[in-house]
Structure 1
């Protein structure tokens, strides 16, 4: 790799960087726009915004050949509060030597400290919090070889709209809709108590996100979750979505009944959602 060099990402690199990101585009994700890239380069994101606000300004660098062709990009930052380092995002068309070189360079820049990789969702995607390990095998392997340990945190799923296998609509459900920072919240209230809710994101390029769905323990087993999911998917379709994606944090610890995602996974499977990938984050 002696014929390659690393330098700070410049405004003129944006088309090449967007091409690198597009090469890793997952099913169910909208194409990354120049505006999304600008936000990521500035260290801002509509998802996990509080975590991003704790970071110092990110440093984004490109690796290029002698002709100046950009072959890869990596972004990293330090969190002043605890001194931790973060490898925020990386793209190199899954070329193994390039992935290794970019990770090694980021680690050199971050120095001797605890480093986390793919910990937060960046503005480049619609909520991808983690590395999609099946679609990014070279990056995963390079992280492992550099001493990182991965954590399997999210199940990333998608389905075309409309979905089937659900109450459609659930006539017994009286919903209250309200604006939410991530989109629209649908709520079920009984006797002045919120018993179930779902939050969906307004569609981007025909793709809607189910950010959250939950039913309080005392109201479970009555079909509220299925009915609420059906209504949420109806709403996304009315807003112009052609497909829906969601993330299941099914890393619940043993005995963690409050976070048991077994029923949720069964519901999504029954509704026709398919698993696209698993999302891992890493630490070293």
Structure 2
């Protein structure tokens, strides 16, 4: 193990892109530089709370075979494993996790894959079906996993008609658009999408007024969102659904996932985050 150096960039990018899941664009050198620096367009406020990350590579026979980045959030003495890649080699994954845990031994609590880094689009967690070896390495090191999100993807155009009547489009600050479906002067549904990155757009969220649910408004705004992303150059769209509380009727996502599947979305993976007591806790 040794600290990441600029000369490792090509090898690390190869590792990251080998681990990518469907719907994730190829990671660039600029994105890697942001991740190493501890910056991200996703969850940016939470990243600002961290001390400078430490990024370490595992080397075998002169070649980079693994990489892990971790940091400390001083305000609550939490150590975080931010991202890790190793082509899902069992021995390397175990070594990288062990190294990070040892380095963060003074923390009261440890977390892993709880923040969305600059290396991904919309992913907040570890995609466990595609990254099963890393998942097992974390569990073996004493972490407890939480199944929090469904990660879904669809090719564009969606299997929905485009109905623009009553839909307002507004470019927001940054790289987002907000769509509002109006019924007279009342906004009955809305959605927010992210500008495409290398042909991949993001549906950040859809919401419908409680009193207007069950009338198909969500489908209308979903169709409009997919059409807008296609107009902006997207060939596919990804989203995540916080369906971690299936027994909670107030937070049920059954209807939402049925709508997404009807529009052509498929579940690519489940996203897990992890926690563990720290070395002194």
- What's the TM-score, normalizing by structure 1? 0.93
Residue ranges of structure 1 left out of the alignment (5+ in a row): 1-5
The equivalent position to 1:274 in structure 2, one of 242, 261, 266, is 266
Mapped to 2, the partners of 1:236 and 1:63 lie a distance apart of 39
Q: 2:34 corresponds to which residue? A: 39
Aligned-partner SS, 1:141: helix
* Map 1:162-241 → 2, pairs under 5 A: 162-164=157-159, 166=160, 168-170=161-163, 172-190=165-183, 192-241=185-234
* Map 1:18-57 → 2, pairs under 5 A: 18-57=13-52
Q: 2:255 corresponds to which residue? A: 263
The equivalent position to 1:245 in structure 2, one of 238, 246, 266, is 238
Aligned pair 1:85/2:79, yes or no? yes
Aligned pair 1:110/2:104, yes or no? yes
Residue ranges of structure 2 left out of the alignment (5+ in a row): 277-281
Runs of 4+ in 1 over 6 A off after TM superposition: none
Is the CA contact 1:180–1:199 (under 8 Å) kept in the aligned structure 2?
A: no
Is the CA contact 1:200–1:210 (under 8 Å) kept in the aligned structure 2?
A: yes
The equivalent position to 1:73 in structure 2, one of 67, 70, 76, is 67
Is the CA contact 1:152–1:251 (under 8 Å) kept in the aligned structure 2?
A: yes
Is the CA contact 2:246–2:253 (under 8 Å) kept in the aligned structure 1?
A: no
Aligned-partner SS, 1:81: helix
Q: 2:279 corresponds to which residue? A: none
Is the CA contact 1:158–1:246 (under 8 Å) kept in the aligned structure 2?
A: yes
Q: 2:149 corresponds to which residue? A: 154
Q: 2:92 corresponds to which residue? A: 98
Shift of 1:175: 2.1
Shift of 1:253: 6.0
Mapped to 1, the partners of 2:18 and 2:137 lie a distance apart of 18
The alignment's C-alpha RMSD in Å is 1.4
1:221-245 alpha-carbon deviations (Å, 9 max, x no partner): 1111000000000000000011111
Shift of 1:172: 4.5
Aligned-partner SS, 1:226: helix
Aligned-partner SS, 2:22: coil
Mapped to 2, the partners of 1:265 and 1:211 lie a distance apart of 14
Is the CA contact 1:198–1:213 (under 8 Å) kept in the aligned structure 2?
A: yes
Mapped to 2, the partners of 1:225 and 1:45 lie a distance apart of 30
